Amino acid sequence: MKEPFLSLAGKMKFFSKAKEPYKNLRKHFNAQAVGYPATLTGIELRLLREIFTVMEAEAALVLTYRFETFESLYPRAQEKGLSADAFRKLLESMEKKGGIFVKHQDGEIYYALHPFAIGMFEMQISRLSPSFFMDSHNYMLQGFAMEYLTTEVPQMRVIPVNKSLKPMQNVATYDQIREIVESTKDKIGVNRCICKTGRDLINDPCKVTDRREVCIGFRDFYDTYSRQGWGRAVSKEEALEILDQNEKDGLLLIGSTMQEPQFVCSCCACCCGIMEMLKFMPRPADFSASNFYAKLEPATCNGCGKCISRCQMEAISFKSVEKKKMATAIDPKRCIGCGLCVASCKTGAISLRKKEIEFIPPKDHVELYETIMQKKKGLAGKIGMMTKAMMGMKV
């Protein structure tokens, strides 16, 4: 991108401060609600270089995880020697590349930084290259996993698939995917799953589905994706058809942790970095913020084995009897309450039960990230939590 024009004095002031733009930006991202930790390999700086030019990296330092208008942000940009026109152009170019999150509300435009995931990574869908995908995947494992898993309230939570819920259960709207779609007053969009698209680029395609348009966005996510041409609008009926097909294919639903989620991803542990992290943990249930768990009645099992192959957390143990796989138990520490096993069990041997203590998600985007910020741990707290989790202790 051509850098916006600055006066000579502005350029001198600007570049004297921008000696280490990506390191500064990395630190700035790390101070937000969901951080952006450094790694020994510096992979996180390479990712930033892919998304931000030097001037964009400097301009992004003006933003935080809180939404602000141009008028509120500009005085800080001016201190960096940026003209109003230059700053506006930088905001536009950063939005186009998914580097920042922009929302249009009541005639105003608001700008904020968003986390690496869920945020910057997902919004690379139109620019994704094999190397960026591999770097992102490796960064998840080398650094970002700890950040993602140690927020007191997870950014994403498991929502049970539709067929697994019985009508008589007292289930809140935010736990019923049909209700979420049917009751929304907002527009709905669908977009390609970046993890599955990335897997295609490295010739390791998804083993659960050959469909790619599986992720549903609402409100600000829908707006951004449609403004940038990263997805397409769908009716409620089409959104429900997509979700039904996702369920049939065996994808589990994870939505943003809000009472009216901004997006609902349809994930598999073979492609999705987040699911891969969860599966790796000894107690995935501690990180799912799900209100459900699956209960098995082994006496009713006919040994079809479907639930075992569908469970992405390997929570179901079984014994082989002749050529059958008889389900014997479900490990509550591994069960994330996705309901895929329930939806596939023809004998009714598995049912979804509600947990005694209900998790009530934050109301919206602002409440979610403010809660995460208030409860943000220091490095020692994060390492302590991860150590306990890796040792199989409850966190």
Residues found near ligand SF4 in the complex (CB under 6 A):
122, 193-196, 215, 265-267, 271-272, 274, 294, 301-307, 310-311, 313, 315-316, 325, 327, 330, 335-341, 344-345, 347, 349-350
* Residues 215, 296, 207, 244, CA torsion sign: negative
Name the amino acid, one letter, at 13: K
Give 188 or 341: the residue with its C-beta nearer to ligand SF4.
341
Distance of closest approach, residue 182 Cβ to ligand SF4, in angstroms: 21
Give the separation between CA 25 and CA 57, rounded to whole angstroms.
6
| Identity of residue 229 | G
Which of residues 21 and 119 has its CB atom nearest to ligand SF4 in the complex? 119
Nearer of residues 173 and 300 to ligand SF4, judged by Cβ: 300
Residue of 38, 33, 108 lying closest to 71 (CA atoms)? 108
25, exposed or middle or buried, with CB in 10 Å at 0-12, 13-18, 19+?
buried
Q: Which lies closer to ligand SF4 via its Cβ, residue 113 or residue 118?
A: 118
- Considering Cα of 122, then 133, then 201, then 311, what sign does the dihedral take? negative
Smallest distance from the beta carbon of 156 to ligand SF4, in angstroms?
A: 7
Q: How far is the CB of 121 from ligand SF4 (least distance, A)?
A: 8
Q: How far is the CB of 330 from ligand SF4 (least distance, A)?
A: 5
DSSP code at position 304:
B
**Residue 393: C-alpha distances to residues 57, 177, 179, 291, 303 (Å):** 40, 31, 35, 20, 32
In angstroms, the CA 174 to CA 304 distance is 32
d(CA 86, CA 71): 14
Nearer to ligand SF4, 100 or 294 (CB): 294
Q: State in angstroms the smallest separation of the CB of 316 from ligand SF4.
A: 5
| Shorter beta-carbon distance to ligand SF4: residue 120 or 349 | 349
Give the nearest distance from C-beta 331 to ligand SF4 in angstroms.
Answer: 8
Tokens of 199: 């897997």
Q: Which amino acid is at 292?
A: F
Strand residue runs (E) in 37-107: 68-69, 100-105
Q: Is the dihedral of CA 350, 354, 359, 360 positive or negative?
A: positive
At 43, list the tokens.
């992979």
Strand blocks (E) in 179-260? 188-192, 213-218, 231-234, 252-256
Least gap, CB of 375 to ligand SF4 (angstroms): 23
CA distance 10 to 92: 20
Could you tell me the smallest distance in angstroms from the CB atom of residue 197 to ligand SF4?
Answer: 8
For residues 14 and 263, which CB has a smaller minimum distance to ligand SF4 in the complex? 263
The CB-of-317 to ligand SF4 minimum distance in angstroms stands at: 10
> What is the rounded end-to-end Cα distance, in angstroms, of the chain?
45
Evaluate whether 219 touches 326 at the Cβ level (below 8 Å): no
Q: Which is nearer to ligand SF4, 63 or 326 (CB)?
A: 326
- Cβ proximity to ligand SF4: between 199 and 382 the closer is 199
Nearest to ligand SF4 of 104, 248 (CB atom):
248
CB of 310 to ligand SF4, least distance (A): 6
